[in-house]
Amino acid sequence: MFISTAYAQAAGGADGAGALMQFAPLILIFVVFYFLLIRPQQKKQKEHKAMLEAIRRGDKIVTAGGLIGTVAKVVGDDELSVEIADGVKVKVARGMVSTVLSKTEPAKSDAKDEKEEKEEETKKD
The model carries a pTM of 0.61
What is the per-residue pLDDT for 99?
93
Task: Compute, in degrees rounded to 10, the torsion defined by CA atoms 67, 69, 74, 79.
Answer: -10
What is the per-residue pLDDT for 1?
58
Q: Spell out the per-residue pLDDT of the chain, length 125, in tens.
A: 577 666 656 555 556 677 778 888 999 999 999 999 999 999 999 999 999 999 999 999 999 999 999 999 999 889 999 999 999 999 999 999 999 998 877 656 544 555 565 566 566 55
Decide: residue 29, CB within 10 A, 0-12 exposed, 13-18 middle, 19+ buried: exposed
* Consecutive H or E run containing 25: helix 16-33
Task: Compute, in degrees rounded to 10, the torsion defined by CA atoms 84, 85, 91, 95.
Answer: 10
What is the per-residue pLDDT for 76?
86
- Which residues, other chains included, contact 81 with Cβ-Cβ below 8 Å and sequence gap of 6+? 71, 72, 73, 74, 75, 89, 90, 91, 92
